[in-house]
Chain A
Amino acid sequence: MAQIVLDRLTAQFSGGEIIEVGSSRGNEWARIKREAWVTVCKFLRDDPATKMDMFIDLTAVDRMGLRTFPEDAPRFDVVLHLYSVGHKHRVRLYCGVPEEDPSVDTLVSVWEGVNWFEREAYDLYGVRFKGHPDLRRILMYPEFVGHPLRKDYPKEKRQPLVRRQAGTRE
């Protein structure tokens, strides 16, 4: 359904920026090299055959421990969903981000709306976005330590800000 997007990508970028493309269950996807993240996205937005003008979603996935994922692959994946209102096709882009240097370039210059989504990925996963104008926590409070959606953060570990005196009427 969106095979044209993958074809245009593989035709335009032949220098190894596109690591892999595929299609499963009606979703077309492509895995992009970290260094080419912004270039590929700009191309997808501007090329008339793909014209991905609508930004849909940006998130991160922590694949540590996922047994269907190769061991030597980078721990985090930044996942981007794009849509074209004119052509009505979608694509999903992956960008592997290693644990030792969890950073990737920001896409704020391509679609303004990624601002808050990147802040959320930083807040919950710890992936830093280089060049982001305002990278701070969005869902958790600033005093929170750690990145809660990582697989090694226990679900019930609370970091309370305030508690009242137990056993009193205060």
Chain B
Amino acid sequence: MGFEFHTTSLQAAVNWARKWSLFQYPFVTACCGMEFMSVAASKYDIARFGAEFPRFSPRQADLLIIVGTITERQGPALRRIYDQMCEPKWVVAFGVCASTGGFYQNYGTMPGADQVVPVDVYIPGCPPRPEQVLDGLMLLQDRIQKGEGHSQITIAAERGYDVPIAAIRPKELKGP
């Protein structure tokens, strides 16, 4: 991406606060959940990023971490949880199954969680090593700081900030 809409230093400060206090909703389904537990435990401490306390209600969370395989049956539940979160919200696809379906190509598995929710950061791995997860988390923090998360761009577009044409949803493009 690489665009930046007009950020005031207030906006930068707000983004700084947001990235260091992520309230995560761990949507744990499968084996990646075990590595998620490892990341949250004492050795690969996610608490040093301020993101340690899982909020098990989507109303109180701003980071949806999709951990593990999403099946077709799970799709409506995932979409509903995403819709219930308040903006700004970010989505991280943890593991290859959540990113692209992994090595499951069958009638039951959805080929990636981005079939139902827009994903900001994809963390590959089966399961990803905890260091990889923390790397993905730091990438997400960069995105949050620059205001490049999907939900942040949507808010910026709605508020009339100057965003590049490519960042706007197609149906919003006006013109001849």
Q: Which A residues fall within an 8 A CB radius of B?
A: 139-141, 148, 153-164, 167-170
Taking a contact as CB atoms under 8 Å apart, the answer to whether B108 and A140 are in contact is yes
Taking a contact as CB atoms under 8 Å apart, the answer to whether B110 and A169 are in contact is no
Taking a contact as CB atoms under 8 Å apart, the answer to whether B115 and A153 are in contact is no
Provide the main secondary structure of the chain A interface. Answer: loop
Cβ distance A66 to chain B, nearest Cβ, rounded Å: 21
Taking a contact as CB atoms under 8 Å apart, the answer to whether A159 and B107 are in contact is yes
Partner of A158, one of B72, B79, B150, B171: B72
When distances are taken between beta carbons in the complex, the residues of chain A under 8 Å from B108 are 139-140, 148
Taking a contact as CB atoms under 8 Å apart, the answer to whether A148 and B107 are in contact is yes
Taking a contact as CB atoms under 8 Å apart, the answer to whether B107 and A170 are in contact is no
Cβ distance A98 to chain B, nearest Cβ, rounded Å: 25
Q: B67-94: which residues lie under 8 A (CB-CB) from chain A? A: 72-73, 75-76, 79
For this complex, 25 residue pairs linking A to B, each with C-beta atoms less than 8 Å apart, are A140-B73, A140-B108, A141-B73, A148-B107, A154-B107, A155-B105, A155-B106, A156-B105, A156-B106, A157-B107, A158-B107, A158-B110, A160-B72, A160-B115, A161-B75, A161-B76, A163-B75, A163-B115, A163-B116, A164-B114, A164-B117, A164-B118, A169-B150, A169-B153, A169-B169
The answer to whether B38 has its CB under 8 Å from any CB of chain A is no
When distances are taken between beta carbons in the complex, the residues of chain B under 8 Å from A157 are 107
Size class of B's contact patch? Answer: 20 to 34
Q: How far, in angstroms, from A3 to B105 measured CA to CA in the complex?
A: 43
Taking a contact as CB atoms under 8 Å apart, the answer to whether A162 and B118 are in contact is no
Given A141-B73, A168-B170, 8 other A-B contacts at CB below 8 A? Answer: A140-B73, A141-B72, A148-B107, A158-B72, A161-B72, A161-B73, A161-B76, A163-B116
Cβ distance A123 to chain B, nearest Cβ, rounded Å: 11
Closest to B168 in A: A169
When distances are taken between beta carbons in the complex, the residues of chain B under 8 Å from A168 are 118, 169-171
Partner of A155, one of B75, B107, B110, B114: B107
Given A156-B106, A160-B110, A161-B73, verify A169-B118 contact (CB < 8 Å). yes
Q: How far, in angstroms, from A140 to B108 measured CA to CA in the complex?
A: 8
Cβ distance A149 to chain B, nearest Cβ, rounded Å: 10
Q: B127-173: which residues lie under 8 A (CB-CB) from chain A? A: 150-151, 153-154, 169-171
Partner of B107, one of A153, A162, A167: A153
Q: How far, in angstroms, from A78 to B75 measured CA to CA in the complex?
A: 32
- Residue with the highest number of chain A CB atoms closer than 10 Å, among B76, B115, B151: B115
Partner of A164, one of B116, B151, B154: B116
Q: How far, in angstroms, from A162 to B72 measured CA to CA in the complex?
A: 8
Closest to B75 in A: A162
Closest to A163 in B: B115
Taking a contact as CB atoms under 8 Å apart, the answer to whether B107 and A160 are in contact is no
Taking a contact as CB atoms under 8 Å apart, the answer to whether B106 and A169 are in contact is no
Q: How far, in angstroms, from A164 to B83 measured CA to CA in the complex?
A: 12
Q: How far, in angstroms, from A164 to B171 measured CA to CA in the complex?
A: 14
Q: How far, in angstroms, from A161 to B110 measured CA to CA in the complex?
A: 10
Taking a contact as CB atoms under 8 Å apart, the answer to whether A170 and B105 are in contact is no
